[in-house]
Structure 1
C-alpha cells in the first residue's frame, strides 16, 4: 500500500505505483470528489483507492511536515507528531526599516495567533458520495488517539455505511451519527477539499483546544445474565447514581444509571475511583466484552 505521504494526486501517479507492485494507493488529502472520480475512471480496476474521511488534518501537503521533528525532536512519520501547527505563535513585523529592533506584534485575535491550525475533517454527512466515488477503503486519522476514539468514530461511520448499503434509494442521514462524532475529542469540523478548496473558514483562529462532550469511563470484560451484572475495568471515575451510556458495535450509546457498584471482591462501593480498577454493577440489558462505558452527560 502506498502512503498518503507519497502525494498521489493523479491517475499517472497511481499507475506508476501499480507498476512497482502496489495494490492500493492512499490518495493525497488535497483532492476533491471530482478529482477522485476522474482518477478511478482512468486507472486499472485492480488498483484500490483509499481516502481519509475523518480526523486531524496536517497543515503540510499530504502530511509531509518536519515541524515536530525540528522543534521538539518528535518524528511525525513515526507517529510521534507533537502537532506544533496547533500552537499559539507570536508573530512580529518590523515596524520601521531603519530601526529593525522596533517590532510590531501581529495578532489574529485577542486569544493569540494560530496561523497553521486547521479544523478537523468530517465526512459523515456525505456517505453516498463517498461510496459512489469508487473508493475501496475509508481511512480515519487515529494517530495518537485512544481506543475509545477509534471505537466511536469507526462505529458511527460503520452504521452510516451499513444504512446506505441496505437501502441506497431510501438512505437518510441520521443526525445521531454526527452527535456521536462530536462526543469524542475533536476540533471544529469541516469537509476538507472534498467539496471545494478550503478557505479561511477551514482555519481555527479562536481556539485550538479539543472539544469533548462525553468521558470514557470503563471497558466491559464480562456479563452475568442471571444476576444482570456486568464487569468492567475503570478508565475514569465512575460514581453510583451518575448517568452513563453503553457503546457497542452497531448502536450508539444506550443510556442508563450506574447502580449497585461492587469492587473486585464483591464489596459494595460508592464509586470506582482508581485507574484500571476492576468493578461490577447492575446493567438493565446484556453487555458484551469490549463494550465501552461512557458518561451520559458532557464531561467537565
Structure 2
C-alpha cells in the first residue's frame, strides 16, 4: 500500500527573525507537516536554534534538509539531533547527506579540511549509530538520507527512515530506476522539488538552474505552478515510483496550499 502524502517546506531565514517566525506559523496554518532548514554555515543561524524556535511557536514537525557531514563531526551531530528530539517532544527529523556540489570550496573558505567521499559515508554511519545509542529504547529520531551513488543508497536502505535522491536534471526514467530499489522496504521516499513553474527555491538548487531545461529533460525537480496540475503530477509520482513525501521552497507554500489541502494524509 502507498504511504500517505505529506508535505514539507524548506524555510531558510532570509528576513528578520520575527518575519521568519510568522512565516513558520503560516506554513503550519496551510497544512504542511514539516518545516525544514538547510545547513549553510554563516548564511543564517545554525539549524538547531532555528528548529527549536519553530517547534516552540507551531505544532509542525521540524528537520534539517540536510546536515552536511563534511562540516559536522559525528558525535556532536548526533548529540544535537537527539537534543532536538527531546526539546521538540519527538517532532524532529534528522536529514543528513554527504554534502552539496562545491562544498569543498566552502570548507576551504572556512579553514576546514576537505572530507573524502568514503569518509563522508563513514561519518553518516557513525552519526546515525550514535544517535540510536543516545535515543535509547524510549525514542526514535527519524533519519532522512539524501543519496545518489550506489554505496550511499545501500547505506540508506540500511539506516534511513526516509530516503531522498540528490537530483538535478536526471530524467523520470532514471529516477524510477533508483526508486525501485526501495519498493520492497519500509522506507519513505521523499522528493525535493526546488522548481515550481519558473521559480527556483533558494538553498534547494543552484541559482543558475534553468526551469525550461528541466521540463525538457522530464526531470522530477520541477512541477507546474498550477495547483491542480501539480496535484495530478504528484499523484502520478506516487503511483509510478512510490514518492509520498514532497518538499518545496517556502516561496511557493501559499501557491501550492490548495494541493496540500487536497492530498495531505491521503
TM-score by length of 2: 0.30
Which protein, 1 or 2, shows the higher relative CO under an 8 Å CA cutoff with sep ≥ 6? Answer: 2
TM-score by length of 1: 0.27
More helix, by proportion = 2
Bigger-Rg structure (1/2): 1
More strand, by proportion = 1
